[in-house]
Structure 1
């Protein structure tokens, strides 16, 4: 029997996901190189090195049976909650929030770890619930506590962006579990009605970000500066961009946080609409693959986990893109795999590794049924 031209271990990898992730990370690398004035430091080289390390982590995770994460998730949830409380006491302030634990050369943001852990916890909870109980109140209040407790602690840091992403991905997992639609509609109406009551309790800078969204021109050099400069950078790129290494907004330091939250704006200025479409296609391929993994999953736990993990990547991208285009408040959410930052990249690659593990088990079961 002839040996296959491509070893089975290589052919079995989910190449659409891996190649799209590598493309996005590479595009982030060249954008960070440009944003630093044509230098590998301080952003581009660490970005590439982190991607290499976390890609190895994702591949390692993909070979762990998905049910093992289901077994350890209660301990992981409690452990990260302890870390979140520790952050409030002795955490390091960064970007206006006390969100980090400093371990010398490594800074850890525990709230990032909570994102995939929360999804796995909710998937485990709902997969163990008898179908007849999904329509009862007992299906919502435990999940509400699992989401609400870390969200409240993270809001105290304060980190509104991470709290929103955690809430959205948790609610998405609940929706996929089959909870009645009327509960989500009622919850949305209740939250909308509560906004006027919640608004006075937000931090002053959070209130400013929400108000300035309605009219950035009312304070273009203050609270509206980020959105104003971001939209100028995106608009000045036109169809084909100003050319690589020729972005004026970023190189002249008009564009704030060009290496993290507003990296899409820096990219769009130099690569234009075509560059923006390339990023959206890369993200679309990754999200389509994640959705397919969820649809093909062979049991309820893996379906819910895959759907929730894919939603984390989606909300990262959606909130960031809406933010830089002035369609959402500036809440400090990076663009997955493009923005500089180890914690967010770690989260996305953990999600990717978990999805690859579910996909691997699904394909293995399919091959076993075919007698391969």
Structure 2
């Protein structure tokens, strides 16, 4: 028994050491840099809320441990887990609609001893499932495969929209569609879907909730309700604009510290960053996010299997979507939706999911270097 345990520990130790030797230091460095910048900004935005700063330290530590743990999981395990995780996520979404916790008219949470948000799971479960499906179907993909993939995608998206949670449903849909796109669907089919989507916008408008319509109308002209629906956008724009070229300096942002920026530690953290670090800081931050996204696609391009390629590429799209939607929302070019800034905004669930995504990329990269 001792010999078997010793052999197991020896083999496990060699495996972990070999993984650490092949870890993608560039990806790890970028994520750590963005997370550090995020915490510095959050410290300034939330120094009057010490419990949030303490909570974010805990969130970062947990997400970091999970990321490193996931990085040591063989990619084939993700293949085996794709279908069970997807089915579990769909079951939890159905349970949320039936017995979920309703807050402010939205039923998005499920109480299982601890409160969880099943829709967050689907941000990764959907691309994993679709990557697994295309991997099992082989390289010769047919039009029927794409139809089945769209069917698999529509189920969780519809369940999330029913909650209602338009922002998360869009993120899940984009993550899933990215896998379908990278699987080799023809440009004609993509163009046809885009045209059909544009033509269906007038019909989709009738299915939106009142608050969702108000957000879109506020985007067009936030000054129509400057103290109500347009308050978030206007104050964020004032904060970013007042930062000028070099910013007001760390801990010197007046819009944030005088409580003009709502949700300044979470969804609108970028407004605090823009005010304190200015145009130069924003450009450097966008450059870091660009390198992170580009690195994800480099890992996807060199991955050894179709499953790895599709999953890594979809994670790159997830990073891009989070960044684009959050910064677009804060700067006033997109409607206000609950999307955090990756690795920066306060929040445990989102940071944990992003940590898992990074861990998967590290795992794929390590196996590519074998």
Q: What TM-score does the superposition give when structure 1 sets the normalisation length?
A: 0.91
Aligned with residue 292 of structure 1, among 288, 298, 302: 298
Residue 203 (str. 1) matches residue 179 (str. 2): no
**Counterpart of 1:254 in 2: which secondary structure?**
coil
- Give the deviation of 1:221 after TM superposition: 1.4
142-151 or 10-19, which deviates more: 10-19
**Counterpart of 1:128 in 2: which secondary structure?**
helix
Residue 164 (str. 1) matches residue 199 (str. 2): no
> How far apart, in 1, do the equivalents of 2:253 and 2:103 lie?
27
Any stretches of 5+ residues in structure 2 without a counterpart?
1-16
Alpha-carbon contact 2:23-2:365 (below 8 Å) kept: no
Aligned with residue 61 of structure 2, among 52, 70, 94: 52
Residue in structure 2 matched with residue 89 of structure 1 by the alignment: 98
CA offsets 1:182-228 (integer angstroms, 9 cap, x no match): 11111111111111111122111100111111111122112111111
Residue 23 (str. 1) matches residue 3 (str. 2): no
Residue in structure 2 matched with residue 74 of structure 1 by the alignment: 83
Structure 1 residues 89 and 351, CA, compared in 2 at 3 Å: closer, same or farther?
Answer: same
281-290 or 8-17, which deviates more: 8-17
Once the two structures are superposed, the pairs formed by residues 236-275 of structure 1 within 5 Å of their partners are 236-275=242-281
> How far apart, in 1, do the equivalents of 2:99 and 2:369 lie?
45
CA offsets 1:249-271 (integer angstroms, 9 cap, x no match): 11111111111111101111111
Residue 64 (str. 1) matches residue 73 (str. 2): yes
Once the two structures are superposed, the pairs formed by residues 166-181 of structure 1 within 5 Å of their partners are 166-181=172-187
Question: Number of residues paired by the alignment?
Answer: 354
Once the two structures are superposed, the pairs formed by residues 1-372 of structure 1 within 5 Å of their partners are 10-36=20-46, 38-39=47-48, 41-93=50-102, 97-103=106-112, 106-132=114-140, 134-136=141-143, 138-364=144-370
Alpha-carbon contact 1:16-1:285 (below 8 Å) kept: no
**Counterpart of 1:42 in 2: which secondary structure?**
helix
Structure 1 residues 17 and 96, CA, compared in 2 at 3 Å: closer, same or farther?
Answer: farther
- Give the deviation of 1:168 after TM superposition: 0.8
RMSD in angstroms over aligned alpha carbons?
A: 1.7
> How far apart, in 1, do the equivalents of 2:338 and 2:98 lie?
22
Residue in structure 1 matched with residue 10 of structure 2 by the alignment: none
**Counterpart of 2:280 in 1: which secondary structure?**
helix
> How far apart, in 1, do the equivalents of 2:306 and 2:24 lie?
21
**Counterpart of 1:201 in 2: which secondary structure?**
coil
Any stretches of 5+ residues in structure 1 without a counterpart?
1-6, 365-372
Alpha-carbon contact 1:147-1:167 (below 8 Å) kept: yes
Alpha-carbon contact 1:258-1:265 (below 8 Å) kept: yes
Alpha-carbon contact 2:19-2:366 (below 8 Å) kept: no
Alpha-carbon contact 1:25-1:48 (below 8 Å) kept: no
**Counterpart of 2:259 in 1: which secondary structure?**
coil
> How far apart, in 2, do the equivalents of 1:356 and 1:95 lie?
38
> How far apart, in 1, do the equivalents of 2:195 and 2:260 lie?
39
- Give the deviation of 1:326 after TM superposition: 0.8
Alpha-carbon contact 1:313-1:336 (below 8 Å) kept: yes
> How far apart, in 2, do the equivalents of 1:282 and 1:270 lie?
18
- Give the deviation of 1:107 after TM superposition: 3.4
> How far apart, in 2, do the equivalents of 1:240 and 1:109 lie?
39
> How far apart, in 1, do the equivalents of 2:305 and 2:19 lie?
24
Structure 1 residues 31 and 107, CA, compared in 2 at 3 Å: closer, same or farther?
Answer: farther
Alpha-carbon contact 1:234-1:272 (below 8 Å) kept: yes
> How far apart, in 1, do the equivalents of 2:76 and 2:19 lie?
22
**Counterpart of 2:178 in 1: which secondary structure?**
helix
> How far apart, in 2, do the equivalents of 1:239 and 1:98 lie?
43
Structure 1 residues 197 and 40, CA, compared in 2 at 3 Å: closer, same or farther?
Answer: closer
Structure 1 residues 9 and 64, CA, compared in 2 at 3 Å: closer, same or farther?
Answer: closer
Alpha-carbon contact 1:244-1:271 (below 8 Å) kept: yes
